[in-house]
Amino acid sequence: MKSTGDARPVPGVLRLFWVSFLIAFTAQAFAADAALPCPPQLRPAVDFWIRVYTQIDTNAGFLHDPNNLGVVYATVHFAPGSSPWERQHMVNAERDRLAAELRSIAAGVRPLTPQERRILGLWGPHVSAARLREAADDIRFQLGQSNRFRAGLIRSGAWHHAIARALAEQGLPAQLAALPLVESSYNPRAYSKDGAAGLWQFMPGTARPFLRIGAAIDQRFDPFSATVAAAQLLAYNYRVLGTWPLAITAYNQGVAGMLRAVHTLGTRNIATIVARYHAPTFGFASRNFYVSFLAALYVEQHAQRYFGRLHRLPEEHFHEVTLPGYVSVASIEGALRVTPAKLRELNPALLPPVWDGELDVPKGYRLRLPESGPDWSVAQLSARLGPQALLAEQLRPPVYRVRWGDTLSGIAARYHLDIWALARFNGMPVNGVLRAGQRLRLPGVSRPPVQLAAAAGPPMARPAVYRVQPGDTLSGIAVRFGVSPWVLARLNDIALNSVLRIGEPLHLPGTAATLTADDLPAATHALRPPAGTVLAANAAADRVALPPAASRLASGPNQALADARLGTPGTRADSASDPQPVSANQAEALGPMLGPEGVPADSVDPTDYTVAPNGTIRVAAAESLGYYAEWLNVSAMDLRRINHLAFSQPVRIGERIRLDFRHVTPQQFEQRRIAYHRALEASYFASHRIDGTRSYVTRSGDSLWTLTQRFDGLPAWLLRQYNPNTDFFTLHPGTPLVIPRIVPTRAAG
C-alpha cells in the first residue's frame, strides 16, 4: 500500500498540461449545450469527477478539499484484498500528515519542505492562513469508481433504447440517460442505505405517484417502468424550477429544497447556488450532484477514449401479457413452462413474498415472458392457467411471523389492514414493540378466495403418468392438469412440499371429478397449501418486503398520520455526516451512487414547510388551525388570538400566520407538519397513480374547488404541487395550468 502526493504518477509539467487540456476540452464540449451548461466556476469540479470515474478504481482514492475540488492533495493506493480497517488506517494516517503540513504552512514556518511547496502551489500564492487552517480540518476522501463506471456502461446497453424513448416522449434532453450512471451504475437491483431503489434510485415517497409499490410489487426495481417514472419526475422538476441544472439537482435534493435555494439567493444560477447557498440538507452531495452528472455524461460520450472498445449488453426483449386475475408464481411456472430463474429475470418488480408463495402476482400486472416463447393473449393465458388458478382477490396468510425490522404499521400496510384493527386483534397497543419470531393473527383473512367468473378453456389433456421437467413444482403440475395438489400428493404418496426430481414419474388422476371434500384440508386457499405454512417455512429467509432502511412513512399512511398527531416525527439521516467508503464493498453498503452519497428527497412536493425566522409559516393545502394547534400543543383559540382571527374565520392557503412555540421547537413542528403531508400523499397514492399530464386553460368561474371537481376529485394539494406558482384565489380566465392525469389502481399487493 502506498500514497502518492500527485494525483497522477506523471511529471508535474505533464500533469499540468493534462489538466489544462482536459478542462479546455470539457469546456468546449459543454459550451455548445445551452440546456446543460457548465459554467467556468464548476469546471474544476467536473474535472475532479471525471478523474474519479476514469483514473482510479475502488482500490484507490483521492484526498482532496471538499469546497475546492481543484485541490487534490494525494492519491492513496490500496493493496488488492486489504481489509477495510487497513484501508481506513492508511487514509487516516495520510489525512493527518496532510493536515499537519497545512497547519505548518499557515503558521508561517519556513523554509517550506518540497511537499509543503507542492501543497501551497495547489492553493495558489494568494491563499490566506485562515483558509489553510480551515482546509486542514476539511480533508475529504473519495474512493475511485472507474471499475464501477465501466461496468455501468456495459450494463446500460440493455435499456438504452427504452430510456431514449421515454425521454423523447416527455420532450426531455437525451443526455439525461447518463443519470443512472451516477445513481446506480445502471444496476436495476441497486438499493441504498436510505431506502432508494432501482436503476433510477427512487425513494418510496418520490416513486409512489408514478409507480406501484406494495407487498407484492415494487416497480422501482423494474428498469422499464422506473424509466418512464423518472422521465415524468424530471419533466415535473423542470416545469417547476425552469432550468435543467436545478431540475437535475432536485432529483437528489428535492424540488422544495431547490426552490428554497432560489428564493433565498434570488437567482436560478447553479454556480451561484453551489457556491453561496448554505442549508443543513444542502451538503457536499447536493452541491456536487449536477457536476457529477456532467462528468458522467462527458465520460459516457467519450467512453472509448477512457475504457477502449466496450461490448455493451444487448437490448432486452420479451413478450408481455396483462394478468386477468391474481395468480401464483407456481401456477405461471407450471402452466406456461417457464423456469423460475427466467421468470425472476424478466420480472424484477415482483418481491420475495410472491416468489416464496406468500402472495399472488397481482391482477393487472403486465407479466413478462421469454421472447422465444408464445406471444400469449389474455384469453389464451386464461385458458392455459385454468379458472382455478385465477383469483379475484389477493391471498392473505392467516398468521404472520414477525421478522427482524418489521413494524406493526409495516405489516398492516403489507396486507392492507387498518393498523388499529391489527393491534386490537392481537391485544397489543398500536405502538407496541414486535419481537422477531412473534406470531400475529391477521384479521379478516379466513374468507375463501373468490375465483374469477371469466370463461376459460378446458384443462390440458392428462396422460396417466407425467415425468417431471426442469423447473416443475407439485403445485405447478397440479394447476397445469386441472387437479388439486393435495390429490396429486396423496395419489403419489409424497408430501406437498416435496422436492421433485427431473424425470421422476408422477401418476395423474383420471378426471377432475376425482376431487372430493375429503381430499382438501379444512381451510384451503385457492387449492394451495395454507399460506401460514409457507410463511413458517420461510421465516428465516433473508428478505424484507418493506426495507427496514426506509422511513416510518414508508410503513403506511396510518402510522404516518399517527406520527403527525402524536408528535413522533420520522427521522432523517444527517447528510452532513457524509460517510465515505474505503472499499468497493463499503461503497455498495453505503449506497450505489458513483457520486457523493447523500440522503435523497422522499417527496415531489415543492411546498416549503419550514418556519420562517420570525416564527411564521405560509398556509398549505389541507391544513387548518386545528392541526397547527395540535402540532404545537396549544389551543386553536391561542392561535386565533395572536393572529387576530375571528372565531369562525378560516385560514387561507398561501397566507402567513404566526405560531406559538412555547411547548415545541420550530424543528419539532416542521417534522410533525411534514409527516402529516407525507401521510396524505401515501394514503392517496395507495390507490391512485399519475400517468402523465395535460394542459388546461382556466375559464370564467373556475376556482380551486371547481377545478378539483372538474378533474375527478383531484386533491387540491396535488393540483397546487403541479402549479406551485399559481395563486388559485385570484384566478383569471386564460391562466395556463398543468393537470396531472390520475388513474386509479389497486394497492400493489
Task: Identify any residues that bridge with 563 across adjacent strands, giving them in sequence order.
Answer: none
Let me know: does 543 contact 344? Beta carbons within 8 Å: no
Please name the residue ranges forming H helices in 612-665. Answer: 625-632, 636-642
Highest-scoring range by mean pLDDT, 48-57, 450-459, 465-474: 48-57
pLDDT at residue 405 is higher than 70:
yes
- 240's CB contacts (< 8 A; 6+ apart) are 247, 250, 255, 259, 606, 724, 725
3-class secondary-structure state, position 320: strand
pLDDT band at 701 (very low <50, low <70, confident <90, very high): very high
Residue 365 CB burial class (10 angstroms; 0-12, 13-18, ≥19): buried
Let me know: does 154 contact 312? Beta carbons within 8 Å: yes
d(CA 718, CA 725): 13
Computed from CA positions of residues 182, 187, 188, 189, in that sequence, does the dihedral angle turn out positive or negative?
negative
Let me know: does 245 contact 272? Beta carbons within 8 Å: no
List the grid coordinates of 280: 443543513
Which residue type, as a one-letter code, is found at position 328? S
pLDDT (tens digit per residue) in 166-204:
999 999 999 999 999 999 999 999 988 888 999 999 999
- Residues annotated as catalytic are 183
List the grid coordinates of 460: 390440458
d(CA 84, CA 89): 8
Let me know: does 407 contact 364? Beta carbons within 8 Å: no
Let me know: does 244 contact 540? Beta carbons within 8 Å: no
Q: What is the CATH number of domain 156-204+222-307?
A: 1.10.530.10
pLDDT at 460: 46
Side-chain half-sphere of 26: how many Cα atoms within 13 Å? 29
Please name the residue ranges forming H helices in 322-447. Answer: 329-336, 340-346, 352-355, 378-385, 408-414, 419-425
d(CA 69, CA 294): 15
Higher pLDDT, 475 or 584: 584
pLDDT at 466: 82
Task: Identify any residues that bridge with 141 across adjacent strands, giving them in sequence order.
Answer: 63
pLDDT at 679: 87
d(CA 49, CA 153): 16
pLDDT at 513: 32
Higher pLDDT, 609 or 725: 609
Q: Which CATH class is domain 557-569+605-679?
A: alpha beta
Fold (topology level) of 686-744: Membrane-bound Lytic Murein Transglycosylase D; Chain A (3.10.350)
Please name the residue ranges forming H helices in 124-254. Answer: 129-136, 146-156, 160-169, 179-184, 204-207, 223-241, 244-253
d(CA 510, CA 210): 49
Let me know: does 98 contact 119? Beta carbons within 8 Å: yes
pLDDT (tens digit per residue) in 239-296:
999 999 999 999 999 999 999 999 999 999 999 999 999 998 899 999 999 999 999 9
d(CA 532, CA 360): 14
CA distances from 117 to 113, 140, 209, 698 (A): 6, 20, 55, 66
Across the chain, mean pLDDT equals 82
For residue 111, is the peptide bond before it cis, meaning its omega torsion is within 30 degrees of 0? yes
pLDDT band at 563 (very low <50, low <70, confident <90, very high): very low
3-class secondary-structure state, position 22: helix
CA distances from 234 to 202, 295, 562 (A): 12, 19, 32
List the grid coordinates of 709: 371537481
d(CA 667, CA 678): 16
Q: How many residues comprise the chain?
A: 749
Q: Of 133, 198, 213, 206, whose CA–CA distance to 159 is shortest?
A: 198
| CB count in 10 Å sphere of residue 196 | 28
pLDDT (tens digit per residue) in 611-637:
999 999 999 999 999 999 999 999 999
Element (H, E) at 273: helix 270-276
Task: Identify any residues that bridge with 465 across adjacent strands, giving them in sequence order.
Answer: 507
pLDDT (tens digit per residue) in 72-83:
999 999 999 999
Euclidean distance between the first and final Cα of the chain, in Å? Answer: 51
| CB count in 10 Å sphere of residue 120 | 17
505-507 vs 465-467, strand pairing mode: antiparallel
Element (H, E) at 700: none
Q: Where in the chain is the domain with CATH 3.10.350.10?
A: 399-444, 686-744
pLDDT at residue 526 is higher than 90:
no
pLDDT at residue 118 is higher than 90:
yes
- Phi/psi at 195 (nearest 5 deg)? 100, 0
214: left (phi over 0), alpha (psi -120 to 50) or beta: beta
- Counting residues of the chain whose pLDDT is more than 70, the rounded percentage is 79
DSSP secondary-structure letter at 213? B
pLDDT at 597: 67
Which residue type, as a one-letter code, is found at position 45? A
CA distances from 580 to 91, 141, 185, 690 (A): 11, 7, 17, 36
Helices first, then strands: H and E counts in the chain: 31, 14
Q: What is the dihedral of CA 382, 385, 389, 394, to 10 degrees?
A: -60
Fold (topology level) of 399-444: Membrane-bound Lytic Murein Transglycosylase D; Chain A (3.10.350)
Concatenated DSSP letters for 379-414?
HHHHHHH-TTT-BSS----SEEE--TT--HHHHHHH
Let me know: does 627 contact 563? Beta carbons within 8 Å: no
Higher pLDDT, 245 or 533: 245
pLDDT band at 323 (very low <50, low <70, confident <90, very high): very high
3-class secondary-structure state, position 318: strand
